[in-house]
């Protein structure tokens, strides 16, 4: 099936809206031959292209994106860089080895990003002091106990917090309990991916606004573009939830659409009402609960909707409707700030699998893929991209073994059954969410 540019829609909303206008600076016309093509210039693709350039300094690496860098999922999330994953429910000691494997991958991605941000001096509000998990209602308070037991069993450094301590830190009385996990980071995600893209090695050629319209999986591999064709010896797919559009992971991966809002920049008095922490992030311990950020430039960002819409961004009208939900959640947490307006809204799509697994490895001869991060793509996507370059180059390492250890994905039904099942699964995330929404 041949696609068109209309199959990769975008808009200007999101964290990119807070940055200067970006212009694509490269294009491809005619026929090109290259040893390596990476499709997708999000966190996975950027990490992969950088590592390939290091491993193959005499090869040109072509990195393609259907949009401008920062307009995809890597620039449309809440900016939580997970070091320690949350596995809901009672701690299962039989899964301890698997939990440790996932967290090693998370930590590897966290470390890689920290190194690149420092080496490239990327200005992206990077704060690697961890973040908080909060519980506002009885369902999540129960989950808080499970989470603390898990952290103790895994010997993860953390600080347990009661309602008074949460209020002192964040200026809201909503949370009855919380925990600060020190392994993790907060970031302005669009600024991060732009900085990584602008600091790529000289043998990486980044081409934006250049969707791949079809792939011929022969030997060599041929990629059809709008104004040209690339013949490649090796192909890396880093398109996450859009992989099925190009013939990969069909019936294995789908997209969930999230949305959030930003306030205007708060003044000194308003910031003083938000507790002792100058910038912070709180994730609800209920899977359908709100995520909150106080950014380093003084905005509150709140995200609290997730839905199935065929892996599409929300229309302006739909986004305006979702903002009423954001507003209710915001005012419930911060009654002292009811006068503060929202200035921006955004939607983004996360790639999720039926059983919460990730995808890493070889798909076909000389074609490799990573994706499906189920909401933890900043750290895990970075680790997968970096490690996939090693794997595709014939390397061996304990991190490659960890990445290959993901469970097999469950099968997803065709449409319209997929739509029905996906809507049910995603809506079930909000069951019992109560005050955490």
Per-residue model confidence as pLDDT tens digits over 24-47: 877 899 999 999 999 999 999 999
Q: What does the pLDDT average to over 101-119?
A: 98
Percent of the chain with pLDDT over 90: 85
Instruction: Reply yes or no on whether the pLDDT at 154 is more than 80.
Output: yes
The b-or-e profile of 232-268 (16+ CB within 10 A means b, else e) is bebbbbbbbbbbbbbebbeebbbbbbbbbbbbeebee
The Cα 151–Cα 100 span in angstroms is 11
Per-residue pLDDT band for 415 (boundaries 50, 70, 90) equals confident
Q: What does the pLDDT average to over 263-276?
A: 96
Helices 377-392 and 43-55: angle between axes, nearest 10 degrees: 30
Residue 331 burial (CB count, 10 A): 14
Q: What does the pLDDT average to over 245-260?
A: 93
402: phi > 0 → left, psi -120 to 50 → alpha, else beta; which? alpha
Angle at 344 between CA 8 and CA 77, to 5 degrees: 55
Instruction: Reply yes or no on whether the pLDDT at 53 is more than 80.
Output: yes
DSSP code, position 285 = S
Mean of per-residue pLDDT scores for the chain: 95
pLDDT at position 5, please? 87
Q: Is the dihedral of CA 185, 190, 193, 196 positive or negative?
A: negative
3-state secondary structure of 217: coil
**Top-confidence residue, 24 or 429:** 24
3-state secondary structure of 17: helix
Structure tokens at 409: 């994905």
The Cα 84–Cα 103 span in angstroms is 5
pLDDT at position 74, please? 96
263: phi > 0 → left, psi -120 to 50 → alpha, else beta; which? beta
Supply the pTM of this predicted model.
0.96
What residues contact 268, with CB distance under 8 A and at least 6 apart? none
The Cα 136–Cα 117 span in angstroms is 34
Residue 91 phi/psi, 5° resolution? -60, 130
Structure tokens at 218: 């022969």
The Cα 235–Cα 56 span in angstroms is 14
pLDDT tens for 365-388 read 999 999 999 989 999 999 999 999
pLDDT tens for 347-369 read 999 999 989 999 999 999 999 99
pLDDT at position 411, please? 82
Helical H segments across 160-248, by residue range? 163-170, 189-198
Instruction: Reply yes or no on whether the pLDDT at 178 is more than 80.
Output: yes
What residues contact 364, with CB distance under 8 A and at least 6 apart? 217
What residues contact 381, with CB distance under 8 A and at least 6 apart? 42, 43, 44, 47, 74, 109, 240, 370, 371, 373
**Top-confidence residue, 226 or 418:** 226
The Cα 111–Cα 128 span in angstroms is 10
Q: Give whichever of 186-200, 241-255, 300-314 has the largest mean pLDDT.
A: 186-200
**Top-confidence residue, 251 or 85:** 85
Q: What does the pLDDT average to over 311-319?
A: 94
Q: What does the pLDDT average to over 156-179?
A: 97
Per-residue pLDDT band for 421 (boundaries 50, 70, 90) equals confident
pLDDT at position 1, please? 61
Pairing of strands 300-307, 254-263: antiparallel
Residue with tokens 């081409």: 207
- Taken in order of first residue, the domains within the chain and their CATH numbers are 5-75+191-253+355-406 (3.50.50.60), 131-182+255-352+426-436 (3.30.9.10)
């Amino acid at each position: 099936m041949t696609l068109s540019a209309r199959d990769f829609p975008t808009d200007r909303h999101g964290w990119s809206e807070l940055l200067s206008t970006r212009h694509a600076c490269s294009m491809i016309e005619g026929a090109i031959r290259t040893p390596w093509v990476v499709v997708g210039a999000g966190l996975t693709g950027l990490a992969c292209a950088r590592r390939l350039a290091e491993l193959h300094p005499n090869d040109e690496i072509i990195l393609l994106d259907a949009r401008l860098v920062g307009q995809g999922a890597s620039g449309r999330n809440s900016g939580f860089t997970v070091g320690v994953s949350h596995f809901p429910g009672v701690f299962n000691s039989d899964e301890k080895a698997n939990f440790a494997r996932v967290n090693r991958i998370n930590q590897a991605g966290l470390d890689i990003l920290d190194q690149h941000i420092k080496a490239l001096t990327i200005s992206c509000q990077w704060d690697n002091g961890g973040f908080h998990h909060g519980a506002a209602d009885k369902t999540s308070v129960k989950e808080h106990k499970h989470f603390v037991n898990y952290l103790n069993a895994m010997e993860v450094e953390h600080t347990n917090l009661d309602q008074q301590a949460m209020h002192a830190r964040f200026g809201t009385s909503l949370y009855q309990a919380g925990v600060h996990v020190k392994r993790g980071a907060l970031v302005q995600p669009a600024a991060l991916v732009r900085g990584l893209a602008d600091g790529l090695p000289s043998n990486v050629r980044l081409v934006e606004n250049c969707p791949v319209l079809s792939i011929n999986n022969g030997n060599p591999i041929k990629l059809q573009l709008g104004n040209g064709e690339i013949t490649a010896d090796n192909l890396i797919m880093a398109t996450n939830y859009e992989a099925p559009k190009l013939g990969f992971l069909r019936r294995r991966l789908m997209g969930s659409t999230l949305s959030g809002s930003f306030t205007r920049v708060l003044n000194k008095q308003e910031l003083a009402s938000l507790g002792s922490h100058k910038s912070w992030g709180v994730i609800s311990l209920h899977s359908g609960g709100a995520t909150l950020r106080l950014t380093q430039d003084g905005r509150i960002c709140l995200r609290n909707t997730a839905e199935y819409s065929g892996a599409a961004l929300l229309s302006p009208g739909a986004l305006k409707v979702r903002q009423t939900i954001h507003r209710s959640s915001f005012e419930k947490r911060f009654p002292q700030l009811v006068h503060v307006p929202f200035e921006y809204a955004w939607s983004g799509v996360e790639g999720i699998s039926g059983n919460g697994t990730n995808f890493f490895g070889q798909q076909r001869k000389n074609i490799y893929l990573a994706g499906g991060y189920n909401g933890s793509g900043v750290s895990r996507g970075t680790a997968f991209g970096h490690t996939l370059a090693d794997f595709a180059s014939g390397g061996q390492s304990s991190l490659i073994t960890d990445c290959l250890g993901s469970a097999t994905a469950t099968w997803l039904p065709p449409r319209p059954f997929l739509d029905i099942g996906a809507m049910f699964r995603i809506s079930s995330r909000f069951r019992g969410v109560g005050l955490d929404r």
